[in-house]
Amino acid sequence: MALPHSALSFLINAFPPYLFPPHSHFPSAFHFSIPTRPCFPSRLSLPASAPRSFVVNATEAAAADKQPLSSRFHISTGYPLPFGATLRDGGVNFAIYSGNATSATLCLITLSDLHHNRVTEHIPLDPLINKTGDVWHVFLKGDFKDMLYGYKLDGRFFPEEGHYYDSSRILLDPYAKAVISRGEFGALGPDGNCWPQMAGMIPSSSDEFDWEGDLPLKYPQKDLIIYEMHVRGFTKHESSRTEFPGTYLGVVEKLDHLKELGVNCIELMPCHEFNELEYFNYNSSLGDYKVNFWGYSTVNYFSPMIRYSSTGINNCGRDGVNEVKFLIKEAHKRGMEVVMDVVFNHTAEGNEKGPIISFRGIDNSIYYMLAPKGQFYNYSGCGNTFNCNHPFVRQFIVDCLRYWVTEMHVDGFRFDLASILTRCSSLWDGVNVFGASIDADSMTTGTPLSSPPLIDLISNDPILCKVKLIAEAWDTGGLYQVGTFPHWGIWSEWNGKYRDTVRQFIKGTDGFAGAFAECLCGSPNLYQGGGRKPWNSINFICAHDGFTLADLVTYNNKHNLANGENNNDGENHNNSWNCGQEGEFANASVKKLRKRQMRNFFLSLMVSQGVPMIYMGDEYGHTKGGNNNTYCHDNYLNYFRWDKKEESSSDFFRFCQLMTKFRKECESLGLEDFATSERLQWHGHVPGMPDWSETSRFVAFTMIDSVKGEIYVAFNTSHLPVTISLPGRPGSRWEPLVDTSKSSPYDFLAADLPQRDIAVQQYAQFLDANFYPMLSYSSIILLLTPDPNV
């Protein structure tokens, strides 16, 4: 996750030194800042509290506010569990946790009143009968049609002690299953408000969805091919020609493309409710407005992003929730699992200057990591840090994950900046966390834990332990845990070291041959010693954060002026190479080399042990013009170009499609455990003599495969061509399948390729002598076949 540059100096000056660990450094893939927030939530004017009674006449209760009302609610004590708004006994139970609030009022708001910043009805809660422990609760029967809800909580407003209670604010319930505010993505609220009042959906007995018997696919993780996708960006471009562009339904219309590509797992970039207008301001560089396009700034974790739905806030968001379910059901029908990118490391409320939307106003000292004087720890780089290992907060996170698995049928989660989930919570002590004193009692807030309570709870949960769990094993506070993330044997990691090593080797940097070979094996140097397997490594060359695959071979430097931050944002160290000329306008030989390098990268991804992940658009060569931090662009930079995909359908897309198909066909390219010398052998220019020296730019291996027999894979990343000697196999001969130095369609000699036999025959004089000529910057795959001459 990357965010605006804004001002690193502000972070350093605004926070005391103890908010960051001594000598902290930041992973090369990340930078951070606190975004400016030009617009803040409005405050609703609420009527004075009505006297408590068993039956409240809503008209009388609101007389002080002079608002005409028409409904009556039967009120009773209610139940402290479950949290949120829950249907039961012909009514709705409301329950919310706050350890420090002194009073609570349930606010009911109709959809029409929400748009006019009016509260429809308020129900004050009596602490004697509507509170159990630290949970406020009430049970209502009545007409909830088009009705939403929120809370106002009162208590001390004392930031120095971590309290931000303000009884004038209507707060979102963290357990609300849908959040309603604006109905259209990018549209301003009333009077140009970027943060109009939000409210939660109240469940209805008419809420229904036909899953048609949908069940989890439960693919072994070793068999996955993941596709990282942005819901809006996937179909928003006019060339998608979808009926509902930029929505969950738009994705459904294009799922067959992913099936054609060979993907069997979709990783959705953040789809929890967030405010895309968080960074809203005019961008003079492009003449449009900056928005939070990526969505790494959560408002509510139970609610899907309603403005990604084709129906918006219709039916109080229920239709939007059903659209997400429909997307997941249709993906499952096509044999694709769905993994959600979740952001439990921070929220949209930012630092002390940010808005009070939900968590901060409910119990700031519980939900956020705070320093002794109330300052916000900032391990996320976004102004606050979620207090993940606090007992209540970790239970909240588990409840949320369970909901998305059981109710929404998702197949797993990718945890953004997951290292934050391993840090000590505020007020850490053994009694608070484990029930007894332990050696860790002296730890300060934010100290990394070897056995984090949250990760322990998730890993041993009877529901969550069976889904895919993927960690982005670093944060912006300097904690980098790739290969060392607490895993309980089931967590996988985005392997950032794989990305960096493969980029270096493929572009011809000396000193990476041995490290590249480790990557091909599933990074046993990172995972084998800890008892994990190759599939614990999520391998990727590119992701949403950084260069696209096409830009990786087109630009040496980032070109982020379009972000309006003077090219100060984004990562400076990209391990990229422009192949001789900077930018898209280059001579024919440079463009040809770029295509060859793209094929090299994709081939290396598909022949590596572990789980490959493809970034949306890389399969046709999407470019962002060298911008490696497009977090703020709701435009062509982030839109999948279906017209460009069609242009490349006989070129790079075909190559990617055939490579994913080949990987699936090979039993040996998705092993359950690390390969041994019984099936894997390394080679150099001469069989059995690999070159692991600092100057080596050649890596080759053979792999015994129960389906293909034996395969030979070689990479020549030198600027010089080389003729290699192949391993001798009496009674058999090597036959060419892939050569990235060849132009399409001869880069992959598929079985249905016209005149394939003629193309194969061109290699005969070399293969008969057990040699093969490799051009510079090329890679090959050969198959062992019976020798017809024997």
CB 618 within 8 A of CB 605: no
Reading the block at residue 652, the tokens are 């790079």
For every residue of 268-324, which 3-state class applies, written as one string? ECCCEEECCCCCCEEECCCCEEECCCCCCCEEEEEEECHHHCCCCCHHHHHHHHHHH
Amino acid at site 356: I
Candidates 382, 158, 180, 141; CA nearest to 275 is 180
Please identify which of the residues 472, 551, 634, 710 carries the catalytic annotation.
472
Q: Dig out the tokens for 203 from the structure.
A: 């469940």
Nearest to 545 by CA among 778, 343, 356, 688: 343
> What value does the CA radius of gyration of the chain take, rounded to a whole number of Å?
28
Strand partners, 423: 448
Q: 664: how many CB neighbours lie within 10 A of its CB?
A: 16
What's phi and psi for 358, nearest 5 deg? -155, -85
DSSP letter assigned to residue 376: B
Q: How far apart are CA 322 and CA 208, in angstroms?
A: 8
- Here the tokens at position 59 are 């008209």
Q: 416 catalytic, yes or no?
A: yes
Going 766 to 771 to 776 to 779, the CA torsion angle's sign is positive
Pairing assessment for the beta strands 131-132 and 135-141 based on DSSP bridges: antiparallel
Residues 6+ apart with CB under 8 A from 439: none
Quote the strand ranges of 89-176, DSSP E.
91-97, 103-110, 121-125, 131-132, 135-141, 147-154, 157-158, 163-164
Orientation of helix 391-406 relative to helix 359-367, angle to 10°: 120
Which of these is catalytic: 173, 323, 411, 416? 416
How large is the angle between the packed helices 513-520 and 588-607, nearest 10 degrees? 50
* Cβ neighbours for 522, distance < 8 A, ≥ 6 positions apart: 533, 534, 535, 537, 608, 609, 610, 671, 674
Peptide bond into 41 cis (omega under 30): no
Q: Is 510 a catalytic residue?
A: no
Query: Which token pair is 297?
Result: 């700034």
Cβ contacts of residue 436 below 8 Å, gap of 6+? 430
Instruction: Find tokens 């027999």 and name the residue.
Output: 709
- CA-to-CA distance for 183 and 311, rounded, in angstroms? 8
> For residues 339 and 298, what is the distance between their CA atoms, to the nearest angstrom?
17
Q: Please list the active-site residues.
A: 416, 472
